[in-house]
Amino acid sequence: MAEFAGKRIIITGGAGGIALETARTLLDHGAHLVLVDPDADRLAAARAALGNARVFVVATDLSAIADCIDIMERAKPVYALVHLAGVFERDPLVAGDHAVWDRAMAANLTSAYDMAIAFQACADPRETCRIVFASSVAYRRGSADRAAYAAAKGGIVGLTRALSRKWAPGILVNAVAPGLIVTRMSEPIVEERGEAYRNEIPLRRFGQPSEVASVIRFLCSKDSSYVTGQTITIDGGITNA
Protein backbone atom coordinates (compact mmCIF):
# COMPACT_ATOMS: atom_id res chain seq x y z
CA MET A 1 0.00 0.00 0.00
CA ALA A 2 1.32 3.47 -0.87
CA GLU A 3 2.55 5.25 2.22
CA PHE A 4 0.46 8.40 1.80
CA ALA A 5 -2.65 6.65 0.46
CA GLY A 6 -5.70 8.63 1.51
CA LYS A 7 -3.63 11.28 3.29
CA ARG A 8 -4.32 14.94 2.55
CA ILE A 9 -1.29 17.17 2.12
CA ILE A 10 -1.30 20.92 1.44
CA ILE A 11 1.56 22.47 -0.53
CA THR A 12 1.87 26.25 -0.63
CA GLY A 13 3.88 27.96 -3.33
CA GLY A 14 2.29 25.13 -5.25
CA ALA A 15 3.10 26.38 -8.76
CA GLY A 16 6.85 26.61 -8.10
CA GLY A 17 9.54 24.24 -9.28
CA ILE A 18 10.27 22.59 -5.94
CA ALA A 19 6.56 22.33 -5.17
CA LEU A 20 5.85 20.61 -8.48
CA GLU A 21 8.51 17.97 -7.87
CA THR A 22 7.31 17.53 -4.29
CA ALA A 23 3.77 17.06 -5.54
CA ARG A 24 4.95 14.41 -8.01
CA THR A 25 6.72 12.31 -5.42
CA LEU A 26 3.88 12.58 -2.90
CA LEU A 27 1.33 11.62 -5.57
CA ASP A 28 3.49 8.65 -6.50
CA HIS A 29 3.10 7.54 -2.89
CA GLY A 30 -0.68 7.91 -2.88
CA ALA A 31 -1.30 11.38 -1.42
CA HIS A 32 -4.25 13.67 -2.07
CA LEU A 33 -2.94 17.20 -2.63
CA VAL A 34 -4.10 20.79 -2.32
CA LEU A 35 -1.78 23.18 -4.18
CA VAL A 36 -1.95 26.82 -3.08
CA ASP A 37 -0.42 29.68 -5.05
CA PRO A 38 -1.36 33.26 -6.03
CA ASP A 39 -0.86 32.58 -9.75
CA ALA A 40 -4.04 30.89 -11.00
CA ASP A 41 -2.67 30.24 -14.49
CA ARG A 42 0.49 28.56 -13.25
CA LEU A 43 -1.56 26.56 -10.77
CA ALA A 44 -3.77 25.27 -13.55
CA ALA A 45 -0.68 24.35 -15.57
CA ALA A 46 0.80 22.53 -12.56
CA ARG A 47 -2.40 20.56 -12.02
CA ALA A 48 -2.49 19.59 -15.68
CA ALA A 49 1.16 18.52 -15.57
CA LEU A 50 0.40 16.32 -12.58
CA GLY A 51 -2.52 14.66 -14.32
CA ASN A 52 -5.33 16.32 -12.34
CA ALA A 53 -6.24 13.21 -10.32
CA ARG A 54 -6.07 13.73 -6.54
CA VAL A 55 -4.90 17.34 -7.06
CA PHE A 56 -6.96 20.35 -6.02
CA VAL A 57 -5.86 23.96 -6.40
CA VAL A 58 -6.55 27.20 -4.54
CA ALA A 59 -5.43 30.58 -5.90
CA THR A 60 -4.54 32.93 -3.03
CA ASP A 61 -1.50 34.76 -1.68
CA LEU A 62 -2.35 33.75 1.92
CA SER A 63 -2.33 37.38 3.05
CA ALA A 64 -5.73 36.95 4.71
CA ILE A 65 -5.90 34.75 7.79
CA ALA A 66 -9.44 33.81 6.77
CA ASP A 67 -8.06 32.22 3.57
CA CYS A 68 -5.60 30.12 5.58
CA ILE A 69 -8.36 28.89 7.86
CA ASP A 70 -10.72 28.20 4.96
CA ILE A 71 -8.15 26.10 3.10
CA MET A 72 -7.59 23.92 6.15
CA GLU A 73 -11.27 23.65 7.04
CA ARG A 74 -12.14 22.48 3.54
CA ALA A 75 -9.32 19.91 3.48
CA LYS A 76 -9.57 18.53 7.01
CA PRO A 77 -8.50 16.16 8.36
CA VAL A 78 -5.08 17.17 7.03
CA TYR A 79 -1.98 15.00 7.40
CA ALA A 80 0.77 17.43 6.35
CA LEU A 81 1.51 21.04 5.48
CA VAL A 82 4.44 21.70 3.14
CA HIS A 83 4.90 25.47 3.20
CA LEU A 84 7.04 26.59 0.26
CA ALA A 85 5.38 29.95 -0.40
CA GLY A 86 7.57 33.03 -0.48
CA VAL A 87 9.11 35.90 -2.40
CA PHE A 88 12.75 36.58 -3.27
CA GLU A 89 13.41 40.26 -3.89
CA ARG A 90 16.48 42.45 -3.94
CA ASP A 91 16.48 44.72 -0.87
CA PRO A 92 17.48 48.35 -1.61
CA LEU A 93 18.20 49.08 2.10
CA VAL A 94 16.85 52.61 1.80
CA ALA A 95 15.96 54.42 5.02
CA GLY A 96 12.22 54.71 5.44
CA ASP A 97 11.41 52.29 2.63
CA HIS A 98 9.95 49.13 4.16
CA ALA A 99 8.20 47.83 1.05
CA VAL A 100 10.56 44.91 0.36
CA TRP A 101 10.91 44.14 4.07
CA ASP A 102 7.14 44.07 4.57
CA ARG A 103 6.58 41.82 1.56
CA ALA A 104 9.37 39.47 2.62
CA MET A 105 8.02 39.09 6.13
CA ALA A 106 4.42 38.70 4.97
CA ALA A 107 5.06 36.18 2.20
CA ASN A 108 7.91 34.19 3.76
CA LEU A 109 7.20 34.26 7.48
CA THR A 110 3.75 35.53 8.46
CA SER A 111 2.02 33.22 6.01
CA ALA A 112 3.96 30.29 7.50
CA TYR A 113 2.81 31.25 10.98
CA ASP A 114 -0.83 31.66 9.90
CA MET A 115 -0.93 28.43 7.91
CA ALA A 116 0.70 26.45 10.71
CA ILE A 117 -1.83 27.62 13.28
CA ALA A 118 -4.71 26.89 10.91
CA PHE A 119 -3.20 23.46 10.21
CA GLN A 120 -2.86 22.58 13.88
CA ALA A 121 -6.60 23.05 14.36
CA CYS A 122 -7.40 20.75 11.42
CA ALA A 123 -4.64 18.14 11.73
CA ASP A 124 -5.75 14.52 11.50
CA PRO A 125 -6.09 13.30 15.12
CA ARG A 126 -5.48 9.71 14.01
CA GLU A 127 -1.97 10.48 12.76
CA THR A 128 1.35 11.88 13.87
CA CYS A 129 1.12 14.78 11.45
CA ARG A 130 3.84 16.78 9.71
CA ILE A 131 4.77 20.37 8.93
CA VAL A 132 7.67 21.11 6.60
CA PHE A 133 8.69 24.75 6.19
CA ALA A 134 11.04 26.23 3.58
CA SER A 135 13.98 28.18 4.97
CA SER A 136 17.13 28.86 2.91
CA VAL A 137 20.91 28.82 3.21
CA ALA A 138 20.50 32.62 3.18
CA TYR A 139 19.69 32.45 6.91
CA ARG A 140 23.12 30.91 7.56
CA ARG A 141 25.33 32.64 5.01
CA GLY A 142 23.50 35.94 4.79
CA SER A 143 22.46 37.47 1.51
CA ALA A 144 24.05 40.86 0.89
CA ASP A 145 21.46 42.01 -1.63
CA ARG A 146 18.45 40.38 0.01
CA ALA A 147 18.64 41.17 3.70
CA ALA A 148 14.88 41.05 4.27
CA TYR A 149 14.66 37.62 2.65
CA ALA A 150 17.52 36.28 4.78
CA ALA A 151 15.92 37.64 7.96
CA ALA A 152 12.56 36.07 7.13
CA LYS A 153 14.17 32.70 6.42
CA GLY A 154 15.97 32.91 9.77
CA GLY A 155 12.59 33.49 11.33
CA ILE A 156 11.37 30.25 9.76
CA VAL A 157 14.07 28.35 11.64
CA GLY A 158 12.99 29.90 14.95
CA LEU A 159 9.35 29.12 14.18
CA THR A 160 10.26 25.52 13.35
CA ARG A 161 12.03 25.05 16.67
CA ALA A 162 9.27 26.68 18.72
CA LEU A 163 6.37 24.81 17.14
CA SER A 164 8.22 21.49 17.30
CA ARG A 165 8.29 21.87 21.08
CA LYS A 166 4.78 23.25 21.42
CA TRP A 167 2.99 20.65 19.32
CA ALA A 168 4.97 17.50 20.12
CA PRO A 169 4.28 14.63 20.00
CA GLY A 170 1.24 14.99 17.74
CA ILE A 171 2.88 17.10 15.03
CA LEU A 172 6.48 16.87 13.84
CA VAL A 173 7.75 20.25 12.61
CA ASN A 174 10.86 20.52 10.44
CA ALA A 175 12.31 22.73 7.71
CA VAL A 176 14.47 22.43 4.64
CA ALA A 177 17.11 25.03 3.77
CA PRO A 178 17.92 24.75 0.07
CA GLY A 179 20.93 26.35 -1.53
CA LEU A 180 20.83 27.40 -5.17
CA ILE A 181 18.25 25.15 -6.78
CA VAL A 182 17.48 25.46 -10.50
CA THR A 183 14.04 27.11 -10.48
CA ARG A 184 12.47 30.28 -11.79
CA MET A 185 13.12 31.95 -8.42
CA SER A 186 16.88 31.35 -8.66
CA GLU A 187 17.26 32.78 -12.15
CA PRO A 188 18.38 36.26 -10.96
CA ILE A 189 21.24 34.76 -8.93
CA VAL A 190 22.36 32.56 -11.80
CA GLU A 191 22.33 35.57 -14.14
CA GLU A 192 24.21 37.78 -11.67
CA ARG A 193 26.94 35.43 -10.49
CA GLY A 194 26.18 31.92 -11.60
CA GLU A 195 29.68 30.64 -12.38
CA ALA A 196 31.27 32.25 -9.32
CA TYR A 197 28.56 30.78 -7.09
CA ARG A 198 28.90 27.34 -8.69
CA ASN A 199 32.63 27.36 -7.96
CA GLU A 200 31.91 27.83 -4.25
CA ILE A 201 29.84 24.66 -4.13
CA PRO A 202 31.87 21.53 -3.28
CA LEU A 203 29.67 19.41 -5.59
CA ARG A 204 30.36 21.92 -8.40
CA ARG A 205 26.77 22.13 -9.58
CA PHE A 206 23.43 23.66 -8.70
CA GLY A 207 20.73 21.56 -7.10
CA GLN A 208 17.65 20.18 -8.81
CA PRO A 209 14.10 20.55 -7.45
CA SER A 210 13.79 16.77 -7.17
CA GLU A 211 16.73 16.76 -4.72
CA VAL A 212 14.77 18.98 -2.35
CA ALA A 213 11.51 17.14 -2.96
CA SER A 214 13.03 13.84 -1.86
CA VAL A 215 14.01 15.33 1.49
CA ILE A 216 10.53 16.79 1.95
CA ARG A 217 9.04 13.39 1.19
CA PHE A 218 11.29 11.88 3.85
CA LEU A 219 10.15 14.47 6.40
CA CYS A 220 6.53 13.63 5.63
CA SER A 221 7.12 9.89 5.84
CA LYS A 222 7.19 7.35 8.66
CA ASP A 223 10.98 7.20 8.19
CA SER A 224 11.25 10.59 9.93
CA SER A 225 9.28 9.50 13.00
CA TYR A 226 12.06 10.62 15.41
CA VAL A 227 12.95 13.86 13.62
CA THR A 228 11.48 17.17 14.74
CA GLY A 229 12.68 20.74 15.26
CA GLN A 230 15.35 20.31 12.58
CA THR A 231 16.40 22.39 9.59
CA ILE A 232 17.98 20.20 6.93
CA THR A 233 20.39 21.99 4.61
CA ILE A 234 20.34 20.92 0.94
CA ASP A 235 23.07 22.94 -0.72
CA GLY A 236 25.79 20.73 -2.19
CA GLY A 237 28.00 21.44 0.83
CA ILE A 238 28.45 25.18 0.37
CA THR A 239 27.76 26.07 4.02
CA ASN A 240 30.31 23.52 5.22
CA ALA A 241 33.06 24.53 2.80
| Catalytic residue set | 149
Distance (Å, whole) CA 222 – CA 163: 19
Q: What is the DSSP string of 44-110?
A: HHHHHHHTSTTEEEEE--S-SHHHHHHHHHHH-SB-EEEE-----------TT--HHHHHHIIIIII
Distance (Å, whole) CA 49 – CA 26: 14
5's CB contacts (< 8 A; 6+ apart) are 29, 30, 31
Q: How far is CA 63 from CA 67, 80, 108, 135, in A?
A: 8, 20, 11, 19
